[in-house]
Amino acid sequence: MTPSRATPAPAPTQRRTVRVKAPGKINVSFSVGPLRDDGYHSVASVYLAVSLYEEIAATTAPAGEITVSLRAGSLGQNLPLDESNLAVRAARLMADVSEQATGVHLEITKRVPISGGMGGGSADAAATLLACDALWNSGLSREELTHLAAELGADVPFALLGGAAVGLGVGDELTPALAPNPLHWALVFADFGLSTPTVFTALDRLRVARGKEPKEPEQIDPAILRALRAGDAQSLAGVLHNDLQPAATKLAPQLAEMLEQGTEFGALASIVSGSGPTVALLASSEEHAAELAERLSLSGRSALAVHSPVHGAKIVSDLIH
């Protein structure tokens, strides 16, 4: 059935399920400024949405009930399924602004590793906003949805937008970037997570120890935007940048080995994604990315070939049953 805002309300015995997919992200550039008085850091980042998707199935439920479950077999079996879950928080926020809000049950299909530096929780939040917007005919503009997204977390607006974008502020002030040609990557997953705030704190400590005062990150290296616009993986390889990488590697020294292994196996470049610990290996083609992922898997790593950029949160089905 074609997704539509005009879908009629289900009869009392019927339920409606809206399914939405939203992508994980990597950052091809991440500059972090000094710690601000509000406890956040200002950043200048370039996000790329990658073809590894979270999926939310939102089904109408009795008024006032907001519940969440994980699809059997998906990642994240230890994920909190209470009020702290980002999908639940997103549904509550949407219910507050939707006149026709019912209850909702959210089923998460998790493919992006938890605390992996790829914004999986943010993708769940963005997908839930869009699913509940459709389910409750909220009629919010994209701008209003983006505003709600920013209340939920710095990476949530990008999971709504997708594609490629520059993120300023805490990462939530987005400007789409041109990236018309696909880039191919092999993602290497760790068997542990890293907490984003802990990695930022480790960076602050490293900077104090080195006596380095960070500057406000106001600008993105134009070479990054040029390489994205040209779809030029070779050029991009030379300018990938992540201020958080030394801090993540200090907290998890095994990251150094993962990064080195990528280049040993022939990646054009290796970078820690966001606050880590997922590592993104840049490949020269789709075949190269598949080959890298296969070699890494054979060596005992968990790895997957993906491409970028891909769409942001998108309705994939809308059914009354």
- Distance, in Å, from the CA atom of 132 to the CA atom of 19, rounded to the nearest integer, reads 10
- Distance, in Å, from the CA atom of 55 to the CA atom of 58, rounded to the nearest integer, reads 10
Residues with catalytic roles: 25, 155
Stretch touching ligand ATP by CB under 6 A, among 116-124, 243-251, 253-261, 282-290: 116-124
Distance in Å, CB of 269 to ligand ATP, minimum: 20
**87, 224, 248, 272: which one contacts ligand ATP (CB under 6 A)?**
87
CB of 112 or CB of 268, closer to ligand ATP: 112
Give the number of other Cβ atoms within 10 Å of residue 99's Cβ.
8
- Tokens encoding 133: 């917007």
Q: Nearest-CB residue to ligand ATP?
A: 121
Distance in Å, CB of 125 to ligand ATP, minimum: 7
Per rule CB under 6 A, is residue 274 in the interface with ligand ATP?
A: yes
- Distance, in Å, from the CA atom of 246 to the CA atom of 256, rounded to the nearest integer, reads 9
CB of 119 or CB of 262, closer to ligand ATP: 119
**17, 59, 102, 122: which one contacts ligand ATP (CB under 6 A)?**
122
CB of 79 or CB of 251, closer to ligand ATP: 79
Per rule CB under 6 A, is residue 85 in the interface with ligand ATP?
A: yes
Distance in Å, CB of 86 to ligand ATP, minimum: 4
**9, 61, 114, 256: which one contacts ligand ATP (CB under 6 A)?**
114
Stretch touching ligand ATP by CB under 6 A, among 110-118, 136-144, 161-169, 263-271: 110-118
Taking a C-beta distance cutoff of 8 angstroms, is the pair 53, 29 a contact? Answer: no
Taking a C-beta distance cutoff of 8 angstroms, is the pair 234, 226 a contact? Answer: no
Per rule CB under 6 A, is residue 155 in the interface with ligand ATP?
A: yes
- Distance, in Å, from the CA atom of 118 to the CA atom of 189, rounded to the nearest integer, reads 10
- H-assigned helices in 162-221: 196-209
Phi and psi torsions of 21, nearest 5°: -105, 140
Stretch touching ligand ATP by CB under 6 A, among 83-91, 132-140, 184-192, 203-211: 83-91
Size of the site for ligand ATP (CB under 6 A): 21
- Distance, in Å, from the CA atom of 208 to the CA atom of 116, rounded to the nearest integer, reads 26
Residues placed in the known binding site for ATP: 113-123
DSSP letter for each residue of 238-306: HH-EETTHHHHHHH-THHHHHHHHHHHTT-SEEEE-TTSS-EEEEESSHHHHHHHHHHHHHTT-EEEEE
Phi and psi torsions of 180, nearest 5°: -75, -20
Per rule CB under 6 A, is residue 162 in the interface with ligand ATP?
A: no
**118, 127, 183, 248: which one contacts ligand ATP (CB under 6 A)?**
118
Applying CB under 6 A, the residues found at the interface with ligand ATP are 79-80, 84-87, 108, 114-122, 124, 155, 196, 274-275
